[in-house]
Amino acid sequence: MSIENKVIFITGGSSGLGEAIARHAAAEGAKVFLTARRKDRLETIVADIEKAGGKAAFKTADVTDAVQVKAAADAATEAFGAIDVLVNNAGLMPLSPMGKLKTDEWETMVDVNIKGVLNAIAATLPDMQARESGHIINMSSVAGHKVFPGAAVYCGTKFAVRAISEGLRAENAGKLRVTNVSPGAVNTELTSTISDPDAKDMANNLYEIAIGADAIARAVVFAIKEPDDVSVNELIIRPTKQEL
């Protein structure tokens, strides 16, 4: 199936997986609308896509602010028409043992990784339900399948994303498609938010085998390309060498 002219709304679109998904989808003819906080990065990505003959636009927004996310979704609809696909990609991973009591980081992860996902769903779901057509793709993690030391809160947020995905799928069975994507170690900026030295070392050691972000982009586009009566519910993509 072709994704040509599908309108894809991507949060966390200024780098990493969001950027890779946008570039890959646009190259296949989709109309991509990006949102994130970094305007300069969004401008560069959109300019690159347009220079290559693709269709792209953006509006800055902080996913923790429901009003900003709704404004971005409205801007996407105004620019390209009804949103066919939401890619809920924005996320942070400031790992640390719970005993370090990095409560500010806990709150940030909950705000971005859980509330940010909910804000984007709230901004796009009503129109999809009214049309009985749409696809919501939520970015979880292998950490949403297995809990490991130094990542309890992060794992908690990613288990929550999986639960939200499954609940959303069950509530909209036969009308909307929902895909939960769980990447393993991928070469992005995700580890840059880790402030705890030991957790940073642990992550850096794991990420020595990281795969490219385009691997996730290809998987996302694969899920979108499936016919409307086929819903790819769960994807786990990680390096072949990764044990976790």
pLDDT of 43-96, one tens digit each?
999 999 999 999 999 999 999 999 999 999 999 999 999 999 999 999 999 999
* Domain-wise residue ranges, the chain: 7-232
pLDDT tens for each residue of 2-58: 999 999 999 999 999 999 999 999 999 999 999 999 999 999 999 999 999 999 999
- CB atoms under 10 Å from CB of 1, counted, come to 10
164 half-sphere exposure, CB direction, 13 A CA radius:
24
Q: Which CATH class is domain 7-232?
A: alpha beta
Residue showing tokens 């999809």: 128
Q: Torsion angle, CA of 185/189/194/197, rounded to 10 degrees?
A: 80
Encode pLDDT of 135-192 as tens digits: 999 999 999 999 999 999 999 999 999 999 999 999 999 999 999 999 999 999 888 8
The residues that are catalytic are 154
pLDDT digits (tens, 9 = 90+) for 110-119: 999 999 999 9
Query: CA nearest 3: which of 234, 175, 177, 222?
Result: 222
DSSP code string of the chain: ---TT-EEEEESTTSHHHHHHHHHHHHTT-EEEEE-S-HHHHHHHHHHHHHTT-EEEE----TT-HHHHHHHHHHHHHHHSS--EEEE---------GGG--HHHHHHHIIIIIIHHHHHHHHHHHHHHHHT--EEEEE--GGGT---TT-HHHHHHHHHHHHHHHHHHHHTTTT-EEEEEEE-SBSSSGGGG---HHHHHHHHHHGGGPBPHHHHHHHHHHHHHS-TT----EEEE--TT---
Which two tokens mark 19? Answer: 């950027």
pLDDT higher than 90, residue 229 = yes
